[in-house]
Each structure stands twice: as C-alpha cells, then as structure tokens.
Amino acid sequence: MEKPEPFKRLAPGHRLCALSDLNDPGSKGFVFESPGGERLSIFVVRKGEAVFGYVNRCPHMGVPLSALPDLFLASDGQILCDKHGALFDVQSGLCTEGPCRYHYLQQVPVQVQGGQVLTA
C-alpha cells in the first residue's frame, strides 16, 4: 500500500507542546477546529529526541486510534489502535500487525525547535 501524502493543512510553526511535556517514549493528542467547525485530531509521539506526528485516524475503518487524548502507545512502544489492536511503527507510521497491515497512518509534519514541538 502506498504511503499517503503528509497532512499539511496546519500552518507551520504552530506550537503544540514542550518536548519536556512528552515522556520518552510518550504521546500526546491535540484537536484543532477550523472556523467552519471542522475538527482535526492529531497526535505526536516522542522517541528519544525525535518527535513524529500523525492524524488520529486508523486506516482500517477511519476511526480514532485512541479514545483517550494521550494514550497512543502499546507497552512495546509501537502506536496502537485500541479499537482493532493494530500496531504501527512510530517512525514510518506503517501498520506492522492487525487488520490494516502494510497500510500507513497519515503523517503530520512536526519539528523540535528550541525545546518546543511545532508543526512544520
């Protein structure tokens, strides 16, 4: 399955959180609302000094990966869909196990700058 294009509808440079707000490994969710009322749920995952961002939507059925705002990781450190048990690689977003195996999460470009996690 092809990797989807990164989600780029968020303005670059928007502060999401401090890097120190994320455990290592750890995750945190965010919800944005457009002026038209459209909601977008994303999350970031910290692995060492790197942070990876994804749209909070399972490629299997389009449902949110987690019903809880900051719990996106399985005990082994992979991203977990709590609806179907699918597991995703943190760095690539590739599903490694579950009903959507070989499909990808949609990436949200993020960067760490001055100890802050920002949209890129």
| pLDDT at 73 > cutoff 90 | yes
| pLDDT at 106 > cutoff 90 | yes
DSSP count for the chain of H helices, then E strands: 0, 9
Residues 6+ apart with CB under 8 A from 5: 106
Q: Of residues 114 and 9, which shows the higher confidence score?
A: 114
Q: 38 falls in which pLDDT band (50, 70, 90)?
A: confident
Q: Where are the domains of the chain?
A: 15-119
Cα(30)–Cα(44) distance, rounded to whole angstroms? 8
Q: What is 15-119's CATH number, 1.10.3720.10, 3.30.1360.30, 2.102.10.10, 3.20.20.70?
A: 2.102.10.10
Burial state string for 26-62 with b = 16 or more CB within 10 A and e = fewer than 16: bbbbbeeeeeeeeebebbbbbbeeebbbbbbbbbbee
When pLDDT is averaged across residues 30-49 and rounded to a whole number, the result is: 90
Q: Are residues 98 and 87 in contact, defined by beta-carbon separation less than 8 angstroms?
A: yes
